[in-house]
Amino acid sequence: MLLRSANFCKTFTPLLVAAVVSSAMFLTACNDSDTLDETTAVVPVELSVFEGCYTVSHDEPAQIKVSQQNDVWVMQMKEPASAKRVWDDAEPLEVIENRDVPKFFSIDPENVDAVIGRPDRVLVLAHVKPVYANIDPLLDSEYLSYIYKGANTIYRVECDDVNTDILANPHANIVVDNVKETI
């Protein structure tokens, strides 16, 4: 009986060792840190949702223009008629990470699918997922803007080549006096 088990071990030990080693190599290969999984894969942001013109009210002409020029996203502001041109010089825009959404807007970043802004963050635009914009009663547009420390919805409108006349706007000359608080 002892002789039989010795033969058994001689015959099957190399086979057993090979099975253990190949299993270990297989498990090690499956745990390779160079491979990407679904949580680390980077999905490119679709910025074409921003291409077009925007205004702060449905009944006003375009004030901001976002376009792609030479593979760079840029924004331009409308100029007054005295400037002898419609749009100012293009300012570059860059992609902003969704995790930074709370710095500019009071909306869950999960409900935003793209964010773009100037490098100085004076202007930041966000595109809200259409499904969320349709169910949130506070949103009447898929676009949010953060312009120098203030956030609001903005509206995508047709681009036009009509200068703005800031001086004709009665709100442009409002002067707010400092009010002394009395206690």
CA torsion through residues 37, 39, 40, 42, sign: positive
pLDDT band at 44 (very low <50, low <70, confident <90, very high): low
Q: Edge to edge, what strands does the sheet with 151-157 contain?
A: 91-92, 72-77, 64-69, 52-55, 151-157, 143-147, 123-128, 112-117, 94-95
How many domains does the chain divide into?
Answer: 1
Structural domain containing residue 82:
47-162
User: Under a CB-based contact definition with an 8 Å cutoff, are residues 65 and 87 in contact?
Assistant: yes
pLDDT in tens, 118-159: 999 999 999 999 999 999 888 889 999 998 778 888 999 999
Mean pLDDT across the stretch 93-120?
A: 95
Give the C-alpha separation, 117 to 125, whole Å. Answer: 6
* pLDDT at residue 148, rounded to an integer: 79
Say if 178 falls within a structural domain. Answer: no
pLDDT over 60 at 30, yes or no: no
Say if 107 falls within a structural domain. Answer: yes
| Phi, psi angles (nearest 5°) of residue 108 | -65, 125
* pLDDT at residue 167, rounded to an integer: 57
Q: What is the DSSP letter of 143?
A: E
